[in-house]
Structures are given as C-alpha cells and as structure tokens.
Structure 1
C-alpha cells in the first residue's frame, strides 16, 4: 500500500528543475542561512522568477565540483 511517507519530499524529487533555497540547502545538507549567503554572494547560481528566488537543480553539482576543485588546488 502506498503511504505518504513513500513519496519523495521536494528536496529529494530529482524531477524538479528549480528549487527553493531551502530545498537546495537540504540537498546540499547545509543550513538554510548558509545557503542564502551562498546565493547572495553568487557562489551558488540562482535565478529570479517573478519575485521568487530559485536555485536551478543542475547548479548544485556544479557548485560541489567547484568546491572540490578549490580543495584540490589548495
């Protein structure tokens, strides 16, 4: 029997193209405030849709790759 607990949360749903900053933070396993700082600084790509700020789902692996590259270079 299907249960609501079996359904993926928005942060886990890989079909989503745009995520809220909170959903992006959950996927990255970082705090909401930290994620907002990353978006504000431009380190994590985001777009504006009307008055809403969204993070493209494909920006997350790009962000992680940049982090890994900077750690390897250090």
Structure 2
C-alpha cells in the first residue's frame, strides 16, 4: 500500500446516520429557542419527549411536528 493510498483511505468520509433522538439542547437549537423554553414545551406536552434511562430525549421529528402544529393553529385563527 502506498502512502497516497493510506492518505486516501484515512480521508474518506464516513457516512454517519442521522440522529434518531436529540438532546434537549439540540432540539432547542433546531427551534432557535432557549433550553428553559424547550423544557417548558416538554413539560406542557407541546413538544414530545421520552426518557432513555435517566436522560431526556426528543425524537428527531418532534421539533418539525411541533412547528407544523403551531403553523396550523396560527393559520386557523
């Protein structure tokens, strides 16, 4: 194996699967809101979450679902 081959193998991009669950901080960043506001949405049931062991996680599609519900509510008003 030549040096060029080794460098090519090392620099080859890895395919990383998209996350299935987000941390509260990641979900807050997706929605462009603060961590405290995100926890408030979770507490009121507006943003879906679940516990994995002792960790609070948000399904990756939950922020988009929350946004879709909010948009539908505002369009209906």
TM-score for both structures, normalised by structure 1 = 0.78
Structure 2: stretches of 5+ with no match in the other structure: 1-15
The question of 1:61 aligning with 2:70 is answered no
1:34-53 aligned at under 5 Å gives the runs 34-53=37-56
Report the alpha carbon displacement of residue 60 of structure 1 after superposing the two structures with TM: 1.2
Report the alpha carbon displacement of residue 19 of structure 1 after superposing the two structures with TM: 0.6
Structure 1: stretches of 5+ with no match in the other structure: 1-12
- Structure having the larger proportion of residues in helix: 2
1:1-74 aligned at under 5 Å gives the runs 15-74=18-77
Aligned residues: 62
Larger radius of gyration: 2
